Amino acid sequence: MKVLNNLLLKRTSTYVVGIAASVFFFERAFDLGTDAFFRSYNKGKLWDDIKDKYEQ
């Protein structure tokens, strides 16, 4: 805990950068996870799955 305090929580600027980096990576991971869930749940209904039937 002392290491965390010395690295991130001692100055407000590093605290804000740490929060911003955490939010960025969380958003990216959440986006990839929900996209994978959506694609697996709707497999066979998406355009990528059925476009061969309609293209000439």
Residues in Cβ contact with 18 at an 8 Å cutoff, skipping those fewer than 6 apart: 8
Give CA–CA dist 8/2, Å, rounded. Answer: 10
Q: pTM above the 0.85 mark?
A: no
Which helix (H) or strand (E) is 31 found in, with range? helix 12-41
How far apart are alpha carbons 26 and 39 in whole angstroms? 20
Segment 8-17, tens digit of pLDDT: 778 888 889 9
Residue 34: per-residue pLDDT: 98
Residue spans per domain, the chain: 1-39
Tokens 């986006």 -> residue: 31
Residues in the chain: 56
